[in-house]
Structure 1
Amino acid sequence: MSLMQDLYVVIAVSAFWLIAMIVPGLDFLLVTRLAVLRGRSAAWRATLGIATGVAIWGICGFFGIRTLFYAAPWLYLLLKVGGGLYLFIAGCTLLIGSWKPSAADATTASTDPTSGGFRTGLLTNLANPKAPVFVSSLFAAAMPQHAPVQLGLACVFAMFAIAAGWFGLVAMVLSHERVSAAFLRCRRWIDRCAGLAFMALGIRFMTERTPG
């Protein structure tokens, strides 16, 4: 393939991935909550974790993890149940914590599974079983047959950069003093909405049928 053809593939993958990142989902909800309640630093650490998760799914997608899921459906089932259980527990913890008295906030923060950090962002991204299927479909549609490894890695790097850039921007904007002050007045409702969203998606992932 020529350099221009490779560039076209990277641009096509990047454009689709940018749209996927902009559409609000669990990652967006996590970064928003952390930026408002924990500050820019916590949100940026989670952003790096999310972007790393994107890179992991990108590499898996390029090397055909969807084919593996069809060959061994129990692997996909394990991912769905494990990821769904993680999200459900995280959602329960948020929801329960939102009803506790303000004096218990410091204790709640120490046990909050979404209180910040690289690991939180990484686990939240990896817990979504839709991610490898979507990424695999994206590569199947955009990649030419027998694409070289360096082209796949270039696309994965572009996806990593887009995720880091977008969620980094979200963290910077929402951690602004005036914006966060407005959100903090609705802190408990933010936690309740986040908790319910995590729980609902966790249940959905655990109860959906395995493809194929």
Structure 2
Amino acid sequence: MDITLLASLAVIHLVALMSPGPDFAIVVKMAAQQTRLTAMYCALGIAVAILVHTLLSLMGISVMIQQSPLAYVVVQLIGSGYLAWMGFGALMSAINTIKLKRQPAQVVTTQCDNVAKMSSFKGFKIGLYTNLLNPKALIFFITLFTVLITPQVGNSTKIAAAVLLFSLSFVWFGLLALVLSKPRIQQKLLAANSIIDLLVGIIFITVAVTIASNIISNM
């Protein structure tokens, strides 16, 4: 087992995990607006998606998708469409929250109490799709494994790499969900709901537009 290679993968992956993006944004949104369990399941969904990306890259399927112009465009279109849809939903939520705050306090309290909470499974699906359908994640893992995982790397190291990346992903986003869903912190985040939704919407739509622009420029 190549410990040096695994350490390099761990450092690069941790830097990527901590960088602001759709994954980070969706966990913050879930931790702020949903239950702790739902936020944790969202983190698990992201980690499972990263495991899928890892396995696809190790098996060479991701490279095959990238090398097929039609398949790659389809994957990018589906991914950008999903991110744009999620971003639009977050922006609409921000607008509705701002409108709600302009109403009498009693009306605001009543309507906030009636906000439906997501199930844990839905939180898992949102986390899973947010990472799995993000073409930028696909490109990241293709690049990472093309450079570091050469044909000479043994199967034990590949298996260890898959377990390592999954574990780091779940630990990072799980801790983020745990910390941000603490009652005191969540209460402060709830007060900034509209700002969180606005930022999430901007991040998702910006990524979607960037992907769409790349598709158009490459045609």
What's the TM-score once normalised by structure 1's chain length? 0.87
Which of 184, 203, 216 aligns to 1:178? It is 184
Specify the alignment match of 2:145 in structure 1: 139
Corresponding position: 1:14 with 2:10? yes
* 1:52–1:70 distance in 2 versus 1, CA, 3 Å: closer
Which of 197, 204, 207 aligns to 1:201? It is 207
Corresponding position: 1:54 with 2:45? no
**1:69 positional shift:** 3.2
Matched letter for residue 122 of structure 1? L
**1:64 positional shift:** 2.2
SS at match of 1:146: coil
Specify the alignment match of 2:69 in structure 1: 73
Matched letter for residue 54 of structure 1? I
**1:125 positional shift:** 0.4
Post-superposition Cα deviations, 1:45-101, rounded to whole Å, max 9, x if no partner, equal 000100000000001111224531343111111111101111111111221122223
**1:107 positional shift:** 7.2
Corresponding position: 1:162 with 2:172? no
Specify the alignment match of 2:103 in structure 1: none
Conserved 8 A contact 1:40-1:171: yes
* 1:107–1:60 distance in 2 versus 1, CA, 3 Å: farther
Which of 23, 29, 36 aligns to 2:32? It is 36
* 1:182–1:70 distance in 2 versus 1, CA, 3 Å: closer
Structure 2 Cα separation of the partners of residues 163 and 95 of structure 1? 27
Structure 2 Cα separation of the partners of residues 47 and 70 of structure 1? 27
* 1:91–1:22 distance in 2 versus 1, CA, 3 Å: same
Structure 1 Cα separation of the partners of residues 182 and 128 of structure 2? 24
Which of 64, 88, 91 aligns to 1:95? It is 91
Which of 124, 128, 143 aligns to 1:122? It is 128
Conserved 8 A contact 2:57-2:63: no
**1:145 positional shift:** 2.7
Structure 2 Cα separation of the partners of residues 108 and 202 of structure 1? 28
Conserved 8 A contact 2:84-2:204: yes
Specify the alignment match of 1:64 in structure 2: 60
Conserved 8 A contact 1:60-1:132: no
The total of aligned residue pairs comes to 205
